[in-house]
Amino acid sequence: MSTPLKRFFVVALMTVCCLGFVNEVQAQSYNAIQKDTPTRKLGRGTANVLMSWMEIPRAWHEVKRKHGDVAGITWGTFEGVRRAVVRIGIGAFEIVTFPHATGAKITPEYVEKYGDDNTFRYHSDVPLF
């Protein structure tokens, strides 16, 4: 092989290796974001306080789907307000105690993260501090 061709292949190989390393670093930093950190706890608390009102229409929909229109309007409203109040309280607690990173106290962690089972749970087994 001629020298310019060798140089091209060496540079190409080094570029591919560097891009692979950069991709690995990005994957590691993404995984680090998923851990409970004080910043994540502060963000989760803020999001829960600001977006807690979304529990009310979500509860309307869930109760209406399971029990009918009248139940959705009546019981769904009460259930949604209850969930919103709980989410505001836990969100405020997480904002105040954000330097002590702990796991989420409610499921789902954020209002918009409901899964297929649509469960709303308070976790008493997660330590406060």
pLDDT tens-place string over residues 73-84: 999 999 999 999
127 backbone φψ class: left, alpha, beta (φ>0; ψ -120 to 50): beta
Q: What is the pLDDT of residue 113?
A: 63
Are the beta carbons of 110 and 48 closer than 8 angstroms? Answer: yes
Higher pLDDT, 117 or 41: 41
Q: What is the pLDDT of residue 15?
A: 66
DSSP label of 19: H
pTM exceeds 0.85 for this model: no
CA distance 66 to 126: 30
Strand partners, 107: 121
Summarised one tens digit per residue, pLDDT across range 16-70 is 555 555 444 444 444 455 677 888 889 889 999 999 999 898 888 889 989 999 9
Are the beta carbons of 47 and 91 closer than 8 angstroms? Answer: yes
Higher pLDDT, 124 or 77: 77
Task: Name the CA dihedral angle for 91, 92, 97, 100, rounded to a multiple of 10 degrees.
Answer: 0
> Is a pLDDT exceeding 50 seen at residue 129?
no
DSSP label of 66: H
Provide the residue type at 116 as one letter. D
